[in-house]
Amino acid sequence: SSSMRRSALWTAALSAGAQAWMVTPRAPVRATAAASRGPACVMVDAFVLDRLREMRGVHDDLTAQLEDPSVQANVEAMLRVTRERAKLDGVVEALSAYEGCEQRLTEAKELFNEDDVELREMARAEIKEAEQEMEALDARMKVLLLPSDPNDERNVMFEIRAGTGGDEAAIWASDLLNLYERYAREQGWQTRLVSKSDSEAGGMRDATMEIKGQSVYSKLKFEAGVHRVQRVPATETQGRIHTSTATVAIMPEVDEVSVQINPGDIEMHAARSGGAGGQNVNKVETAIDLTHKPTGIRLFVTQERSQLKNKELAMQMLRAKLYAMQLEEQHAKVASARKMQVGTGARSEKIRTYNYKDSRCTDHRLGSNFALDGVMSGGIEPIIQQCIALDEQERLKELGVDG
Amino acid sequence: GLFRRGGEPLPEAVRGPFEEMCLQRLRRTPVQYIVGDWDFHELTLRLSPPVLIPRPETEELVELVLASSRKPAKAAAAAGRDFRILDVGCGSGAIGLALLRQLPNAECVGLDVSTEAIALSRLNARELGLSSRYEAVLEPLGIAALARWPPPEPTAAAAGVARRFDVLVSNAPYIPSADMLSLPQEVRRFEDERALCGGQDGLDVIRDVLRAAPLLLRPGGTRGIWLEVDVSHPPLLRDWLQEPGARGLGVGMVRWIPDLSGRPRFCELQWDGEGGGDGSRVC
């Protein structure tokens, strides 16, 4: 049936992988007046409304599926349908709010044609209110059109590496780590440091932190890239300003199903195992040295209290890195002109400059400045919100919907 | 916590106990005994002297046993049969409990000479919610008591464990006596010598484990034997099993496997289901 076909199409589109999220640009659609719907001034693109109504149709189909006894009997199917349906709840809500406004507007306009002055005043106020609400809904509904990034809900492996610049770069990297730790805590996320290489003069060469919580990736994905600092280093004796960098990589955490690793591609051995081993020694610290031969990725994990846990952690980190590499490849293919690129940190573009003399932090994609003090104490939420907004704008433009 | 906030001074309440722990460590007490517990495989185990602290290699032994036991254990469950594991020299209960955690329908008996070990493995089983499937049995004469049949004095253990097990696993003491003197202090001064020393070539207890195997294993089971050994042992064991005296046991070396440090550490052996009849295990 056509509703089933539509269902399948949209369910497929909605649950497609990262590629669907990076929609290829289409020719812009002109906003058309929807004469059949009454209101003379149309603030919402007919294209947007049509699409959203289709999505509501899918929601209805999924609701019907939940009533189906054969679906009810299958726990997996029930969970899947419930989940897919829940993703569309926002659409249904927004559409019904919009249609409610439309209705009020139509009624108010009819009232406006009455002779009674008082009624006309009421109608005028009602029209104004309804139009304002519809404008707000317009923005919301456009965003609802965007396919969501399937990685948005994932936890991440957050990695910082000090760039060139010796001790100062190492100190900068550790300042950045503190910044993000505070931000994560403020967001109510759990952080766990899984590896860290300290630098002799203070600071660190690199560190990896696992961050778990709600929608972590969706917020941190724009943090990947090079963060540059301009300041007088603590080690500087003559008060000169130095520039150093640190690179942030954001890798969504994936399970064993998402990234297949061939056991033959891995070489793993226990590092720091000089001497007899076995019963002869009491080992408090175990270290796993893991090499993934095809990519050359090498990991050294010593964080956990047991060798097995270090092994599991190493595999988790490897999966995250391999997935991040896959994502990079996919992103590179969809050569998009967007300013807001979700990198995994592989590219070398500077995304932010932190200038201590002028006490400001500049995001180069947004082209805006933020007060440095707030930023360094973990207050980066406003920057992230702006990044999310710019990203939405750009993706809407590609879809052919003006923001 | 300390790792993350390394720069901050210690809160008052914790300072005293922490300094006491540092003093203990200065006396070379193993960290695991100071802290009182440590991670092993997917568990956290309580640990106390002199019971042997599980080594990282032994986690790999557990993984090997698991890999070969998952299917048979499932098949047994499907057929309504038990799947029984014997852990000889159970110590803290590490091996048996780690296996039980991963094999939901298996049962395990842990055997040990040490009363402290029996108490500790029972405690761990209870705290891990595995007591219904784990039994710790004290055998003061050690596995030697079961290496000869009929045993010199009938023991309670002997009656209980005959012909009952699908898999035999053991991290028996395997250090040659000459190496005992050069052990680090943490090991030498705090851990039970009976859990470490295997006699002149380190194989005394292991040989007894293999002599006892035909008595302990079910002829209809997997008849698998898994050992953790000293790096010198695998070829010595293979050769010994082929000598006239030991051949009658019907136990053969299937393969040996290196640990993550690349050292030959684990032996997989198998009993043929027939050898070791009365009398022939005297060797």
The full DSSP string for A169-182 is HHHHHHHHHHHHHH
- CA distance linking residue A94 with residue A52, whole number of Å: 9
Q: Does B178 touch chain A (CB under 8 A)?
A: no
First CA to last CA distance, chain A? 35
pLDDT category at A150 given cuts 50, 70, 90 is confident
Q: Measure in Å the smallest separation between the Cα of A378 and chain B Cα atoms.
A: 17
Judge contact between A52 and A142, C-beta under 8 A. no
- Partner-chain residue, chosen from A269, A277, A306, that has the shortest CB–CB distance to B39: A306
User: Could you give the 3-state DSSP secondary structure of residue A237?
Assistant: coil
Arithmetic mean of pLDDT over chain A: 83
Closest-CA residue of A relative to B183 is A280
Closest-CA residue of A relative to B190 is A282
Cβ-defined contact of A278 to B174 (cutoff 8 Å): yes
Q: Does B261 touch chain A (CB under 8 A)?
A: yes
A18: left (phi over 0), alpha (psi -120 to 50) or beta: alpha
Spacing of C-alpha A191 from chain mean position? 17
User: Could you give the 3-state DSSP secondary structure of residue A139?
Assistant: helix
Q: What is the pLDDT at residue A250?
A: 92
Q: Measure in Å the smallest separation between the Cα of B220 and chain A Cα atoms.
A: 32
Q: Does B186 touch chain A (CB under 8 A)?
A: yes
Model confidence over A43-62: pLDDT tens digits? 567 878 888 888 899 999 99
- Partner-chain residue, chosen from B4, B42, B265, that has the shortest CB–CB distance to A193: B4
Judge contact between B180 and B197, C-beta under 8 A. yes
As a whole-number percent, the residues of chain A with pLDDT over 90 amount to: 42
Cβ-defined contact of B231 to A278 (cutoff 8 Å): yes
Judge contact between B76 and B105, C-beta under 8 A. yes
Q: What is the pLDDT at residue A10?
A: 41
Q: Does residue A272 register a pLDDT over 90?
A: no
Question: A386 vs A370, A382, A383, CA distance in Å?
Answer: 11, 6, 5
- Partner-chain residue, chosen from B59, B195, B196, that has the shortest CB–CB distance to A307: B59
Type and span of the H or E element at A207: strand A204-212
Q: Measure in Å the smallest separation between the Cα of A374 and chain B Cα atoms.
A: 22
- CA distance linking residue A229 with residue A174, whole number of Å: 12
Q: Measure in Å the smallest separation between the Cα of B281 and chain A Cα atoms.
A: 28
- CA distance linking residue A291 with residue A306, whole number of Å: 19
Q: What is the pLDDT at residue A14?
A: 45
Type and span of the H or E element at A58: helix A46-67
Residue of higher predicted confidence among A226 and A116: A226
Q: What is the pLDDT at residue A1?
A: 46
Q: Measure in Å the smallest separation between the Cα of A203 and chain B Cα atoms.
A: 12
Q: If interface means Cβ-Cβ distance under 8 Å, which residues of chain A face chain B?
A: 193, 268-270, 273, 276-284, 286, 288, 304-309
Q: Measure in Å the smallest separation between the Cα of A140 and chain B Cα atoms.
A: 41
List CB contacts (< 8 A) between A281 and chain B.
Answer: 55, 184, 187
Q: Measure in Å the smallest separation between the Cα of A170 and chain B Cα atoms.
A: 16
Q: Does B5 touch chain A (CB under 8 A)?
A: no
Q: Does B175 touch chain A (CB under 8 A)?
A: yes
Low pLDDT (below 70) residues in chain B: 1-8, 149-159, 277-283
Cβ-defined contact of B184 to A281 (cutoff 8 Å): yes
Q: Does residue A234 register a pLDDT over 50?
A: yes
Position A3, amino acid = S
What's the rounded mean pLDDT across residues A310-327? Answer: 92
Position A333, amino acid = K
- Partner-chain residue, chosen from B38, B171, B187, that has the shortest CB–CB distance to A280: B187
Cβ-defined contact of B59 to A304 (cutoff 8 Å): no
Q: The dihedral of CA A48, A52, A53, A57: what is its sign?
A: positive
- Partner-chain residue, chosen from B53, B55, B262, that has the shortest CB–CB distance to A278: B55
Spacing of C-alpha A99 from chain mean position? 30
- Range with the lowest mean pLDDT among A2-11, A121-130, A298-307? A2-11
Q: Does B195 touch chain A (CB under 8 A)?
A: yes
Which of A198, A269, A282 best probes binding to B when mutated, by most B CB atoms within 10 angstroms? Answer: A282
What's the rounded mean pLDDT across residues A236-250? Answer: 91
List CB contacts (< 8 A) between A278 and chain B.
Answer: 55, 57, 174, 228, 230-231, 259, 263, 265
Residue of higher predicted confidence among A86 and A38: A86
Degrees (nearest 5) of the Cα angle A64, A68, A74?
A: 120
Q: Measure in Å the smallest separation between the Cα of B232 and chain A Cα atoms.
A: 11
List CB contacts (< 8 A) between B38 and chain A.
Answer: 305-306
- Range with the lowest mean pLDDT among A217-231, A317-331, A362-376, A386-400? A386-400
Q: What is the pLDDT at residue A118?
A: 84
Q: What is the pLDDT at residue A402?
A: 62
Cβ-defined contact of A279 to B63 (cutoff 8 Å): no
Q: Does B183 touch chain A (CB under 8 A)?
A: yes
Cβ-defined contact of B55 to A276 (cutoff 8 Å): no
Cβ-defined contact of A269 to B231 (cutoff 8 Å): no
Q: Measure in Å the smallest separation between the Cα of B60 and chain A Cα atoms.
A: 8
pLDDT category at A15 given cuts 50, 70, 90 is very low
Closest-CA residue of A relative to B258 is A269
- CA distance linking residue B267 with residue B258, whole number of Å: 9
List CB contacts (< 8 A) between A273 and chain B.
Answer: 260-261
A56: Cβ–Cβ under 8 A, 6 or more apart, which residues? A88, A91, A92, A95
- A-B Cβ pairs (cutoff 8 Å, strict): 82
> Which residue, chain included where needed, has tokens 């039980």?
B100
Q: Does B188 touch chain A (CB under 8 A)?
A: no
Model confidence over A357-398: pLDDT tens digits? 999 999 999 999 999 999 999 999 999 999 998 988 888 887
User: Could you give the 3-state DSSP secondary structure of residue B207?
Assistant: helix
Q: What is the pLDDT at residue B151?
A: 60
List CB contacts (< 8 A) between B196 and chain A.
Answer: 279
Q: Measure in Å the smallest separation between the Cα of A167 and chain B Cα atoms.
A: 18
Q: Does residue A42 register a pLDDT over 60?
A: no
For B101, the token pair is 């955690």
Q: Does residue A113 register a pLDDT over 70?
A: yes
Q: Does residue A341 register a pLDDT over 80?
A: no
pLDDT category at A329 given cuts 50, 70, 90 is confident
- CA distance linking residue A214 with residue A217, whole number of Å: 9
What interface predicted TM-score (ipTM) does this complex get?
0.89
Position A213, amino acid = G
Type and span of the H or E element at A5: helix A2-14
Closest-CA residue of A relative to B202 is A279
